[in-house]
Amino acid sequence: MSSETVPYVQESEFDDVLTQEKVVVVDFTATWCGPCRLISPLMDQLAEAYKGRVKVVKIDVDNNKPIFKKFGLRSIPAVLIFQDGKLAETIVGVSPYEQFTAAVDKLL
C-alpha cells in the first residue's frame, strides 16, 4: 500500500479537513519515528475500512510544530480523532488496530 491512502495535510489545511467529514482521524507522525512507522499501515487499513465515512490524514510534526503543541502533545505517534470538528479521542503511542476501530465506531 502506498502512503497515498492517507494524505499528509499542512497546518493551513487542518481546519478545512475537520469540516469535510463527521469523523476525522489525524495521525501525528515524523519520518524519523520508528513507532510511527508501525502505526502507518494501521492508518492505511483504517482509511480503507472506513472509506466514505471517516477521513484519515497525517500531519508531519517536524513541519507543523504549532499544531502539535496546540493539542498539548509531547510524544508521537499520537492519533487524534475528531467528531464534528471537536477533539473526541486521543491515542498516544503504539496501539492495536482494534483500539482505533473501537474509538472510531463510538463516534459513527
10, 63 in Cβ contact below 8 A? yes
Does pTM top 0.85 for this prediction?
Answer: yes
Q: Does the active-site annotation cover 106?
A: no
Cis before 77? omega within 30: yes
What pLDDT, on the 0 to 100 scale, is given for residue 5?
Answer: 81
49, 3 in Cβ contact below 8 A? no
Query: In the chain, how many domains are there?
Result: 1
Q: Is 32 exposed, middle or buried (0-12, 13-18, 19+ CB in 10 A)?
A: exposed
Domain that holds residue 41: 3-107
**Residue 5 grid coordinates:** 491512502
- Taking the C-alpha atoms of residue 33 and residue 48, their distance in angstroms, rounded to an integer, is 23
Q: Residues 39-90: pLDDT tens digits?
A: 999 999 999 999 999 999 999 999 999 999 999 999 999 999 999 999 999 9
Q: Does the active-site annotation cover 36?
A: yes
Catalytic member of 30, 33, 73, 94: 33
Catalytic member of 6, 36, 46, 78: 36
pLDDT band at 3 (very low <50, low <70, confident <90, very high): very low
| CATH for 103 | 3.40.30.10
